[in-house]
Structure 1
Amino acid sequence: MSTVTSLDPRTPILVGVGQITDRLGQPDYAAMSAADLAADAARRAIADSGAPTADIVGAIDTIATTRQFDNSSPSTHAPLGRSSKFPRSVAVRLGAHPRRAVLEVAGGQSPQHLVNEFAATIASGHAEVVLLAGAEAMSTIRHFAERPDGRPDFAEDPEGEVEDRGYGLRGLVSREQIAHGLATMPAQYALLENARRAHRGDTRAHYLRAMAELFAPFAAIADANPFSTAPAPYCVDDLATVTDRNRLIADPYPRLMVARDQVNQGAAVLMTSVGAAQRLRVPTSAWVFLRGQADLREPNLLDRPDLATAPSAATAIELALEAAGVALDDVGYFDLYSCFPIAVFNVLDGLGLAPDDPRPLTLTGGLPFFGGAGNNYSMHAIVEAVHRVRADQRGYALVGANGGVLSKYSVGIYSCQPGSYVADDSIGMQREIDAAPTVARSAHPHGWASIESYTVTYGKTGPTGIVVGRLEDDGRRFLAGVAADPDGTPDPLLEVLTCSDEPTGSRFYVTPGPSRNEASISRRAATRRRPPRPALDRPFEHVIVERDGHLLTITINRPEVRNALHPPAHRELDEILDAYLADPNLWVAVITGAGDTAFCAGNDLSYSATGKPIVLPLNGFGGITARRDLTKPVIAAVNGYAMGGGLEIALACHLLVVDTTATLALSEVNVGLVAAAGGLFRLPRAIPPTIATELIVTGRRIDAEEARRLGLANRVAPAGQALAVARELAAEIISSSPTSVRLSLTMMQKAQDATAVFAAMDDCQPELDELMTTDDASEGVTAFAAKRPPEWRNR
């Protein structure tokens, strides 16, 4: 056992903690901003150290803060404004001038991860006095956002640099999940909870009772905690009984079992080296040691072999105990992150602990009852852990902090027992986790399948069913939403999810759709919902269709936006191409743009900037870029601009005619996007790869002559004559055998391994999901709509 005098002066310790709650509706409610709350908690932490305040403030060399909900993704909005540099805002309020300021990534693991990281930083001698802080003012924001008058302004832009680490959402948010209704935490966690219930063989009623029995003691602790947001002594029956007040949010969760995010809470931790603590006259009675720590990450949600468990959390605790040199039985105090019951059950299962272990499993009262202060909840748990071990000098407290969907887990073991800092083996263990096999997935499943897990979410429009399924033919996993008739009547499968004794394992039929995969009770039900056979004789709003014998001319008719495409136009083009391919009397199609300015300027970014959902057909951009059965000739007649998605449409065609006014570019990088609708994969196959790379990474435009020289264009027409020349080319094809042409195209596609293009488009979904969570993607579209240069932030 080490003694204080024998410790390396660089040994990291916690010397001060503080927290605050600003309750809406209470007499002392102050409508504090998140920065105010964090600064107030920091003042309390500094005072808690017992050292002179001015000395501590002057010695702070690093301040690191957690993110707020309204700054945790590019799409979040701060209706009352927010600080542009949150750590610096806290420092200004304290009168501190740290040389380093850090804004951490999003996630509930972040407070404990910051403690672990900066303990190592202090131990390495790269910092001496570190302040960690965070807060949420969501209750105030929601309160005033609904009122037109008297709203406070939380916007500020302090001086100084901040190391902004970005949102940290890679692998945690995907377009696939959002499209299937998994945009909220309750829905995603419910999938895991129901998988665990089915794995255990519990009935719905028994499992609901078990969740309530787990959380009732949490509520009792929160009721006695003066910093709780809304203390109330809920009993098991209160939690397990579904009522209007305790309504279902996402099966199996009633409202009282869901983390409470409408809070005004702040917490802070002051860390120093032993040497700095002695120099600053911090009494040893305030010292608390981080005796063990670990940080691990689980595979992405739908890649996990078993949805019923996330073993990395228990593994992280075992690593931390090993670093601390203590056993689980030596730990007297736990705070296990409790956003939902599964987050606690998962740890208990992995460690072999019983839900009724005599040692309380929370120090605060848990997120549904104490308050789920966004990314900062576990900072409150650390504050409580410090208080416990100071009162029990020989005790050990364990804080387990969870982020994502049981995705990230950070652990700290605290004690007043002196000990040298010991590094953990998180890096080595993470390599093993990352090397483990994952589950094969299907993006466009079709056929019979079985339910692996499920949930039903309950919103204003009624219940919505979501399933994780496995295809019967190859076992691949997929997401699907329960289908509905055009009048909104849900498929009978929804009744299976809500009423059957055990939905898991039930058989159903899945079909791919333009926005999501659809789950139906049977093949017959799925077939009944198929759209009617496409027809070309109906009027179209955004496309002009002309038949001339065996030739079909398709004109994108949105000249006011340079024929840029939005979802309604995509749907029309998709239907028209379906009809073309199905009609035996149509042998060749030509696609062009209305007017003399543009063939197609790509995605309608002004429409995108409105925030309306962007849904592409299953066959891709313009109904063509992901079409795998293009067995009849399609000619692109490019007049003017073919930019971004417009060029991707042209590249997906078999032949390309340009007139002398044509300007072609994959310009997505100029607006913070990527040419993922086939351009990244088709252009390097059409022209020399080095030239293609240059055009892709610069967005450089080429003219008709360069397109011809590179072999991209088949023919160059005089200005305004692209369509006429394309029709001449079509006439040459029509003079040949349509059967021979069709089979030639089919065999050429096989020989060229064109399916590799589609496989590459599917394989790149993680990169597209990452792009969706970046500031640059949001900024590019916003800047385009505002007609101003974008301000890139490289995150």
Structure 2
Amino acid sequence: MTSEHSERLAMPDIHPQTPILVGVGQIIDRLGEDSYQAFSAVDLAAQATGQALEDTQTDGAALRAMVDTVAGVRQSEMTIPGATAPLGRSDNFPRSVAARLAMNPKRAILEVGGGHSPQHLVTELAADIAAGRSRVAIAFGSDAISTTRWFANKETRPNFTEHVEGDLEDRGYGLAGQMSMEAANHGLTDAPSLFALFENARRARLGLSRAEYADEIGRLFAPFTQVAASNPYASTPVARSANELTTQTEANRPIAEPYLRYVVARDQVNQGAAVILTSVEAARELGIPEHTWIYIHGHATCRERPLLDHEDFGVAPAAQLATRRALDMAGLTPDDVATWDFYSCFPVPVFNAAVDGLGLSTDDPRRLTVTGGLPFFGGAGNNYSMHAIAETVQRLRQCPGSYGFVGANGGVMSKYSTAVYSTAPTEWVPDESAELQAVIDAQPAVSQVTRAEGWATVETYTVKHGRDGGRTGIVIGRLERTGERFIAQAIESDEQALAILDLEQPVGQRIWITNTGPGNRFTVSPDRAAELCPARSPALRAAYEHLRVEREGHLLIVTIDRPDVKNALIPPAHEELAEVFDAYLADDDLWVAIITGAGDSFCAGNDLSYAATGGQTYLPRSGFAGLTSREGINKPVIAAVNGPAVGGGFEAALACHLVVADETAHFALSEVKVGLIATAGGIVRLPRVIPEKVATELLVTGRTITANELARIGVVNRLASAGGAVSAARDLADEIMRASPSSVRLTLELMNETQGISDVAEAIGKRTSVFDDLMVTEDAAEGMCAFAEKRTPIWRNR
């Protein structure tokens, strides 16, 4: 121990507002054991908090009366939007726990989701105490996942529903930057697959074989199992050898390469933990023994950039920077630390922070965990690191003056919170993480593409294994032509694509990317892609599942035929519409198209019921209804709005060149009313076609606007009587078809070319081939001749 550390231990005067940890508690309620009590999450947290109160060795009633802040770590069933609680839950988790213990704090916090939150909460509450905003605070968390799953389908089961009055500072899910529709649409919906991307990139960077890396995982986690085996709060207190951890068996099945079941975080647990913090002044008032006090010597929290923004998937700099900063703040080197606990949901967070970041060895005699780690100790949802803090506190009390480190990971290598603890007295040092965050945020941006096409190179990958033996290959790579990054999935049953991922080292392999409606798909070559995803020649079919398509001379009438759901669309319907409009634009004998809806509705947008029941949600390249993202539509499309045009239905109408509506029609971009936004062009198009203030009101309120109102401000071209929208649209189409189809087409092309030019003179003078193209058409010659001969022209559209 250095002289500086000795001075800290002997420091006689400490600021009265210095924050300290004075009590910790843990509990486990193992399913199937004689002691099992089927505790709810609230019960578990209350039990752990009760133990923490006893741990302070002071008058519990006096301490409870002084608690001004309680902070709860979010349970698993409150972490993902839309997640259900099969047995019910409290609507105010922190105050439910407080009520169990006869506490009525002024402030109650429900922290954001993420495994970093226990450590982040402790640091935040300590800062509040140091600033005088609090004197006594308790942080706790728990999950009863095992109990919930056990009783979920049983007729007789407990009801964990609770309602508690009182203010609650609910900080929300905290998922910004951690989830994306793009990742989800390519199969990256589960933690093992996401962490495996980092794991495989790290293996590639180190140049290790599959067998060598598996050995490294085994050597890392075998000591973790030994710690768990002696921990009374562990969910799986079984010691395993490195070979057991990395050998595939029926029980140790593959999850997502390189992970087998034994090295994946265990969440089916019933666990709870709590930590009590006070000021030095409050602890002395309460008579809490000073030899039990634990000080925070260093701390830091950093946030990583979103998944596809990582410069190198083999490294997560946020965790490394936060780890180093906490040690530097404490004035320590890694050799000075007596106990470590690195968040260990999977191997790579430990490798990244401890091995790569600090240079620690996997067989460090101090061990890299005090609990046993998430796959073996278990993890109560987001609350694992609260157990690590509690265990660290107990160990430090047994060895006064020593130092313990806790590193907590949140999200998918997304957020990292750290702290260094000791019984040695020290003044509180404010957070210095902002400058670290600036370093991370200043990293160069990685160019990305959502719809990828062409030759590419694999940056990282995984293969997901289903219980039925099915395999799904997923890659992140870079296009050779542009260097843009993308996500892609193997085409189902494409063994040639999976064979690439079965190679000794898939990273760096060349693959072919093709874009389909559901997303990017990879295979071995363009020929293989053409074989598996053959290009569709633009042509109309005899029949469609979700549409009716009628051809009347030069006119095409497309009717969305899902009246039972007000013509709301699902991905297969979008695909059919994309196919129909591809055929329309490619067919020289079709001059005008009308789109309408069956029954008394135009289109109610996306079918949210389909999405809510697990249906895959995506749009084809051409967008909603095959129209909203389509570039350069050079033949007229008329929307015949015969009823409600809501959400995507209004966006589809806005994407049409002309709108005819009957007197029953009404329009709304109502996405904000269901927690969504109008991303299929509504936010972009509406302010360009009506006054911005009016557009803004419609977009942020979701209110309905009538066809009459839209006609007055120029969105609806023609109004019709009830039921007359299609007839009026036919009349408008007839007018258009009396003009030269070549001139109409080239007029629309020139409008498309000049639309983005704000200066009128510049737009008029834009160099274009449109005029040259016009003058060599037969229609131009026919039009002038017919005019001179005073006869009706006969158009050829050529």
How does the TM-score come out when normalised to structure 1? 0.92
Cα pair 2:632 2:752 within 8 Å, conserved = no
**SS at structure 2 position matched to 1:374:** coil
The residue identity in structure 2 corresponding to 1:242 is: Q
What is the rounded CA distance, in whole Å, between the counterparts of 1:614 and 1:446 in structure 2? 21
Match runs of 1:578-593 below 5 Å: 578-593=582-597
User: What whole-Å deviation, never above 9, does each CA across 1:558-594 have from its counterpart, x for those lacking one?
Assistant: 3333322233332322221122122222121111122
What is the rounded CA distance, in whole Å, between the counterparts of 2:68 and 2:157 in structure 1? 35
Residue 312 of structure 1 pairs with residue 318 of structure 2: yes
The residue identity in structure 1 corresponding to 2:655 is: A
Match runs of 1:109-188 below 5 Å: 109-146=116-153, 148-188=154-194
Aligned equivalent of 1:270, options 276, 281, 285: 276
Cα displacement (A) at 1:422: 0.7
Residue 344 of structure 1 pairs with residue 350 of structure 2: yes
Aligned equivalent of 1:559, options 555, 558, 563: 563
Cα displacement (A) at 1:77: 1.6
Cα displacement (A) at 1:220: 0.7
Partner of 1:782: none
**Which stretch shows the higher mean deviation, 661-670 or 331-340?**
661-670
The residue identity in structure 2 corresponding to 1:306 is: D
**Which stretch shows the higher mean deviation, 526-535 or 203-212?**
526-535
The residue identity in structure 2 corresponding to 1:683 is: L
Partner of 1:247: 253
Cα pair 1:324 1:422 within 8 Å, conserved = no
**SS at structure 2 position matched to 1:375:** coil
Aligned equivalent of 2:490, options 482, 485, 501: 482
**Which stretch shows the higher mean deviation, 155-164 or 100-109?**
155-164
Aligned equivalent of 2:37, options 26, 30, 47: 30
What is the rounded CA distance, in whole Å, between the counterparts of 1:717 and 1:95 in structure 2? 68
Aligned equivalent of 1:423, options 430, 447, 469: 430
Residue 642 of structure 1 pairs with residue 642 of structure 2: no
Cα displacement (A) at 1:725: 2.2
Match runs of 1:591-606 below 5 Å: 591-595=595-599, 597-606=600-609
Cα displacement (A) at 1:358: 3.0
What is the rounded CA distance, in whole Å, between the counterparts of 2:18 and 2:683 in structure 1? 51
- Aligned CA distance change for structure 1 residues 206 and 255 (closer, same or farther; 3 Å): same
Partner of 2:451: 444
Cα displacement (A) at 1:5: 4.5
**SS at structure 1 position matched to 2:382:** helix
What is the rounded CA distance, in whole Å, between the counterparts of 1:257 and 1:370 in structure 2? 12
Partner of 1:546: 550
The residue identity in structure 1 corresponding to 2:351 is: F
Residue 101 of structure 1 pairs with residue 104 of structure 2: no
What is the rounded CA distance, in whole Å, between the counterparts of 2:726 and 2:757 in structure 1? 27
Match runs of 1:205-220 below 5 Å: 205-220=211-226
Residue 574 of structure 1 pairs with residue 582 of structure 2: no
**Which stretch shows the higher mean deviation, 253-262 or 70-79?**
70-79
Cα displacement (A) at 1:291: 1.1
Cα displacement (A) at 1:37: 0.9
Cα pair 1:320 1:424 within 8 Å, conserved = no
What is the rounded CA distance, in whole Å, between the counterparts of 1:608 and 1:464 in structure 2? 22
The residue identity in structure 2 corresponding to 1:741 is: V
The residue identity in structure 2 corresponding to 1:477 is: R
**SS at structure 2 position matched to 1:136:** strand
Partner of 1:383: 390
Aligned equivalent of 2:477, options 469, 475, 480: 469
The residue identity in structure 1 corresponding to 2:565 is: V
Aligned equivalent of 1:230, options 233, 236, 239: 236
Cα displacement (A) at 1:611: 4.0
Cα pair 2:593 2:637 within 8 Å, conserved = yes
The residue identity in structure 2 corresponding to 1:169 is: L
User: What whole-Å deviation, never above 9, does each CA across 1:301-346 have from its counterpart, x for those lacking one?
Assistant: 1111111100111111122122223233211111011111110110
What is the rounded CA distance, in whole Å, between the counterparts of 1:202 and 1:26 in structure 2? 43
How does the TM-score come out when normalised to structure 2? 0.91
Cα displacement (A) at 1:189: 0.3
User: What whole-Å deviation, never above 9, does each CA across 1:639-696 have from its counterpart, x for those lacking one?
Assistant: 2222221110001111112233321221222232211110000011111212211221
Percent of paired sites with the same residue: 53
Residue 330 of structure 1 pairs with residue 336 of structure 2: yes
- Aligned CA distance change for structure 1 residues 384 and 68 (closer, same or farther; 3 Å): same
Residue 742 of structure 1 pairs with residue 745 of structure 2: yes
Residue 403 of structure 1 pairs with residue 399 of structure 2: no
Cα pair 2:223 2:363 within 8 Å, conserved = no
What is the rounded CA distance, in whole Å, between the counterparts of 1:560 and 1:378 in structure 2? 50
The residue identity in structure 2 corresponding to 1:628 is: E
Partner of 1:673: 676
The residue identity in structure 1 corresponding to 2:706 is: D
User: What whole-Å deviation, never above 9, does each CA across 1:5-49 have from its counterpart, x for those lacking one?
Assistant: 411111000000110111112111111111111111111111011
What is the rounded CA distance, in whole Å, between the counterparts of 1:750 and 1:309 in structure 2? 45
The residue identity in structure 1 corresponding to 2:152 is: A
Partner of 1:501: 504
Partner of 2:366: 359
What is the rounded CA distance, in whole Å, between the counterparts of 2:375 and 2:108 in structure 1? 31
Aligned equivalent of 2:63, options 31, 56, 60: 56
What is the rounded CA distance, in whole Å, between the counterparts of 1:31 and 1:641 in structure 2? 51
Cα displacement (A) at 1:531: 5.3
Instruction: Provide the alpha-carbon RMSD of the alignment.
Output: 1.7
What is the rounded CA distance, in whole Å, between the counterparts of 1:482 and 1:608 in structure 2? 23
**SS at structure 1 position matched to 2:602:** strand
Aligned equivalent of 2:294, options 279, 288, 303: 288
The residue identity in structure 2 corresponding to 1:170 is: A
Cα pair 1:323 1:423 within 8 Å, conserved = no
What is the rounded CA distance, in whole Å, between the counterparts of 1:586 and 1:42 in structure 2? 74
Cα displacement (A) at 1:522: 0.8
The residue identity in structure 2 corresponding to 1:197 is: R
**SS at structure 1 position matched to 2:618:** coil
The residue identity in structure 2 corresponding to 1:589 is: A
What is the rounded CA distance, in whole Å, between the counterparts of 2:667 and 2:249 in structure 1? 60
Cα displacement (A) at 1:612: 3.1
What is the rounded CA distance, in whole Å, between the counterparts of 1:611 and 1:210 in structure 2? 38
What is the rounded CA distance, in whole Å, between the counterparts of 1:540 and 1:169 in structure 2? 40
The residue identity in structure 1 corresponding to 2:77 is: D
- Aligned CA distance change for structure 1 residues 109 and 464 (closer, same or farther; 3 Å): same
**Which stretch shows the higher mean deviation, 562-571 or 547-556?**
562-571
The residue identity in structure 2 corresponding to 1:633 is: P
Partner of 1:16: 23
**SS at structure 2 position matched to 1:18:** strand
- Aligned CA distance change for structure 1 residues 680 and 59 (closer, same or farther; 3 Å): same
- Larger Rg over CA atoms: 2
Residue 414 of structure 1 pairs with residue 418 of structure 2: no
**SS at structure 2 position matched to 1:642:** strand
User: What whole-Å deviation, never above 9, does each CA across 1:65-120 have from its counterpart, x for those lacking one?
Assistant: 10111111113221111111111111111111111111111100000000110000
Partner of 2:724: 721
Residue 193 of structure 1 pairs with residue 199 of structure 2: yes
Cα displacement (A) at 1:491: 4.2
The residue identity in structure 1 corresponding to 2:588 is: P
List gaps (5 residues or longer) in structure 2. 1-6, 759-798
What is the rounded CA distance, in whole Å, between the counterparts of 1:569 and 1:180 in structure 2? 20
The residue identity in structure 2 corresponding to 1:482 is: A
User: What whole-Å deviation, never above 9, does each CA across 1:525-548 have from its counterpart, x for those lacking one?
Assistant: 111222543542322232211101
The residue identity in structure 2 corresponding to 1:605 is: L
Cα pair 1:569 1:622 within 8 Å, conserved = yes
The residue identity in structure 1 corresponding to 2:740 is: S
User: What whole-Å deviation, never above 9, does each CA across 1:129-152 have from its counterpart, x for those lacking one?
Assistant: 101111111111111224x23311
